[in-house]
Chains A and B, each alone.
Chain A
Amino acid sequence: MDTLDNSEWDVVIVGTGLRQSLLALALSRSDKKILHIDENDYYGGAEAAFSLQEAEEWAKSVDESSTAAAFFNTSVTKPDLSPDSSTPQLSPSRKYSLALSPQLVYARSALIQSLISSKVYRQLEFLAVGSWWVYTTSSGNQALREPISIHQTDSIRGSLLKVPSGREDVFQDQVLDFKSKRALMKFLRFISDYEEQPQEWKKYEYEPFTTFLIERFKVPEVLHAPLLALTLTSASSDQVSTMTALPRIARHLRSIGVFGSGFGSVIPRWGGMAEIAQVGCRACAVGGGVYVLGKGIAGEGKYSEFDGKLRLKDGENITTKWCVRDHAPSGIPAASDNRSVTIVSSDLAPLFPSLGEEAPIPACAIINFPSGSIPVEGWDQERAVPSVQIAIHSSDTGECPPGQSILYGYVALSGAQGSQLLKKAVESLLASVDITPAPTILWSLQYEQRCIPVNGSGSLHMTWGEGMLTFKQSQFDLAFDDRILDEVKEIWQKIMGEDAGDFLVFEDREPDIDDDD
């Protein structure tokens, strides 16, 4: 078509982020006339993946003036690398695929099931998430167990301890004393069906999880950090309630072994959730959906009654029955998280031990830095520091060339303190890995991401007028949250109405249709 002006649609989807793309996938077999636009000139929105150059351009393009933009305060650091051949160098831009959303997906997640039942799983590759580690300094805790390295660098002296994720890990642990092992095992047995025993934890629901561990299971402090690491939240240790921790730990432990022994979650290859977003859009395009990049909606989106008319930024007027988009900020100042992407000159092999004979090679390692393990300048000692999460992706993901790895950092702390904390965490991590040559930082990107609060109503999405549906945003989570799928399903049901059929359940298309294998 030559122009979108005066075109009529059944559904207009704005933005090609993961939510919108999953919706596009869900609608790909319907007979709806779909227009899917994105004001960026790339797919993926907030879940996109970038080459090095694209990342640098993205960092520059971020709108620092708006208090509503999802991303802000970006900066790229490129250490001076002497050009002689012995110093590791940055590779060409296209060798990298840096993810804005490096999430892991638990084995029992509904997302995996949906990708299979919608048949798009064949276009995706998944890699195993391997070991989880906790960073500790010897000032904080006594030497807990055989550390993989104690490395002294100026004032930093830390080590990485593997988190036990089941009975056999606890069995092989060399340093925990017998009583601590018993306490931990008792807790692990409890968590396997904790929902059936509400009397054990109901009264601790809103109490800190650590209190519950001590009072109910006599789990010694030495084990708090590893167990908190399994919750994969950035909240500080005293902020994590029992009600938050239990389902997350249960999800982690119940997922282990589902796809193969030794691991419980996977990451998509080639750049995090961006791949899944691409696959969703591709499916919708095959089904007849029209895709236009570099097109946005005019107006800041204060929604009142939606009358079916939309105006695009280039001036086109279109009409549609349904419009689905991200929810615009409500003007309430939003908290923000600090994020970072660091390219490192080493494969950090000690952090990726084998998962067992004939098990898949892990491509992701998770490092947790508990409250207090990294000092923060000027911090009010009364409050606990949020914990830092770093997900390391190996080159098997295709996100960087062999011999390098990507460190994705996340901390629920805004401003300079947050970005300093992330930087220090990355440095401490690299200093504590026993590998020669010592790893160096080749490039890094820091940014902040707003967690835009939306007034909570029961529903997962917001409806404006007869046809405007908006996705609520949520705070970044290193693990894919299945509620996103629920959100997509609610919107899909609204659009499809009565003859909806099953959500994301399709038959294979005719064999002549393109099917990447």
Chain B
Amino acid sequence: MASHGISRTSGTLVRSEEQRQNELQQIATYKDLVDLVNTKVAERQYTVEVLGLVTKLLNENPEYYTIWNHRRRVLIALLPATPPDSDDASSPERPHEFIDGDLQLTFALLRKFPKCYWIWNHRNWILRKGESMSDTKLASRLWSGELQLVGKLLHADSRNFHAWSYRRDVVAQLQRLQAKAADSAAVRGLVESEFEYTTKMIKANLSNFSAWHNRSKLIPRLLNERQANGTTRRKMLEDELQLICTAINTDPFDQSIWFYHQSLMSTISSDCPRESMIVQDLSNGERLRHYAREMEYIKEILEDEADCKWIYESLLSTASFYVQVEAGTKAFTTLEMQSWLDQLRRLDPLRRGRWDELGRRLNL
């Protein structure tokens, strides 16, 4: 099965009898371990020995999320209860050894299972626990280290949305610490560099849903940090539209690019919530101009790629935005819209029901 253009390989299915017996043995051993851990936890034996058993089990099967819960119970019991004072002169240089140990464990597991929710989750929990036991300086170091780590993981697989989502959280934590230290320059610097990071990732690979998504989340924040006025905001919108149009022109068959285009179009609409807006005071006239220009631009691509369904979908979507602002427009006709819908039916017959519903919604 291909997902977003990347095909997945299937494992080997043929096993010899010997391999099958080995597997049965492994399954029995695993089940015994599960029973042992569950029993100990039920008996509330929150000891280092049980921690070791839990580690062994998680190395076998990190997807068993209940065991991660058990681990956290054991750790809470084993870690010192009272956090040190933030300004304690004897504050540790390194996090507690259990924190360190779990950071290493989750790191090793992430390299093998970079898309397992529970490992990311636990690592996040560990860091927050670690922060609560450290002074601000160590906490900053912990979270900065995380930023580097997630950077490396994204370098290995730039489309891992777990890593992107984790990155956003890490950045938020760093900004919280920077705000606590009243370091607004650092906060702004971080937003700028994160924005640059999405630019870099997109240049390396246009087809990156997460990078585009992150970019869309960062832009309103960036404009706030820059204390941008109306002119600056309009420039940003223009630049982003120019960027995405260049991308569409380069590869109109890539879905992630159209998603970002759609998100930019939605920031122009009057329905857009204020915190997601790029330009906060668009007039209807400006809106119509944007929509018209986009439609003209996209139609030009049809000259060379008449069989690209995203183009027709986008035309219809922009047309419906347009019509929300000015119902009786002469910019395009109902006949044109009908023809685009027909093209969609031709190019993607499996989604007939969807196109019919779209037609009803647009009164075609």
Contact = CB atoms under 8 A, between A and B. Distances in A.
B203 A357 contact: no
A53 B250 CA distance: 52
Interface stretch (A26-34, A170-178, A325-333): A170-178
Interface in A162-198: 167-168, 170-172, 178-179, 181-183, 185-186, 189
A261 B203 contact: no
A171 B155 contact: no
B154 to A, nearest CB: 11
A178 B249 contact: yes
Contacts of A168: 203-206
Contacts of B305: 182, 186
Nearest to A262: B204
A356 B204 contact: yes
Contacts of B246: 171, 178
Contacts of A172: 203
A186 to B, nearest CB: 6
B304 interface: yes
Contacts of A382: none
A182 B246 CA distance: 10
A182 B249 contact: yes
Contacts of B249: 178, 181-182
A517 interface: no
Interface residues of A, number: 17
Contacts of A179: 304
B115 interface: no
A171 B206 contact: yes
Given A171-B206, A179-B304, A357-B155, A185 B200 contact: no
A84 interface: no
Contacts of B250: 167, 170-171, 181, 185
B247 interface: yes
Interface string B89-118: 000000000000000000000000000000
Contacts of A183: 304
A170 B305 CA distance: 17
**Chain B: interface secondary structure?**
helix
A358 B250 CA distance: 26
Interface string B201-216: 0011110000000000
A86 B251 CA distance: 51
A182 B308 CA distance: 13
Interface in B166-215: 200, 203-206
Interface string B200-235: 100111100000000000000000000000000000
Interface string A344-382: 000000000000111000000000000000000000000
A213 to B, nearest CB: 14
Interface in B239-257: 246-247, 249-251, 253
B301 interface: yes
Nearest to A217: B304
Contacts of A356: 204
B208 to A, nearest CB: 11
A147 B151 CA distance: 33
A190 to B, nearest CB: 12
A179 B297 CA distance: 12
Contacts of B301: 182
A167 B300 CA distance: 20
A189 B253 CA distance: 10
Nearest to A261: B204
A180 to B, nearest CB: 10
Given A179-B304, A181-B250, A182-B305, A171 B200 contact: no
Contacts of A186: 304-305
A167 B206 contact: yes
Nearest to B300: A178
A465 B102 CA distance: 72
A358 B153 CA distance: 13
Contact of A167 (B155, B200, B251, B304): B251
A186 B203 CA distance: 20
Nearest to B245: A178
B340 to A, nearest CB: 20
A185 B203 contact: no
A14 B203 CA distance: 52
Q: From B246, B247, B300, B305, name the one whose CB has the most chain A CB atoms within 10 angstroms.
A: B246
A152 to B, nearest CB: 32
Given A167-B251, A170-B250, A357-B200, A182 B304 contact: yes
A167 B208 CA distance: 13
Contacts of A358: 155
Contacts of A182: 249, 301, 304-305
A513 B1 CA distance: 47
Nearest to A182: B304
Contacts of A167: 206, 250-251
A189 B204 CA distance: 18
A358 B301 CA distance: 36
A136 B286 CA distance: 43
Nearest to A257: B205
Nearest to A186: B304
A113 B235 CA distance: 52
A306 B301 CA distance: 67
Contacts of A171: 203, 206, 246-247, 250-251
Given A167-B206, A171-B203, A179-B304, A185 B155 contact: no
Contact of B251 (A178, A185, A357): A185
A443 B200 CA distance: 41
A185 B250 CA distance: 6
Nearest to A218: B304
Contacts of B247: 171
B205 to A, nearest CB: 7
A398 B76 CA distance: 57
A211 B251 CA distance: 25
B300 to A, nearest CB: 8
A167 B204 CA distance: 10
B155 to A, nearest CB: 6
B153 to A, nearest CB: 13
Interface in A245-295: 261
Contacts of A170: 250
A330 B206 CA distance: 55
Nearest to B257: A171
B259 to A, nearest CB: 17
A173 to B, nearest CB: 9
A318 B246 CA distance: 71
A13 to B, nearest CB: 41
Given A167-B250, A168-B203, 9 more contacts: A171-B203, A171-B247, A171-B250, A172-B203, A178-B300, A182-B249, A183-B304, A261-B204, A358-B155
7 smallest CB-CB distances across A and B, nearest first, come from A171-B250, A182-B304, A178-B249, A170-B250, A167-B251, A185-B250, A181-B249
26 contacts: A167-B206, A167-B250, A167-B251, A168-B204, A168-B206, A170-B250, A171-B203, A171-B246, A171-B250, A171-B251, A172-B203, A178-B246, A178-B249, A178-B300, A181-B249, A182-B249, A182-B301, A182-B304, A183-B304, A185-B250, A186-B304, A186-B305, A189-B253, A261-B204, A356-B204, A358-B155
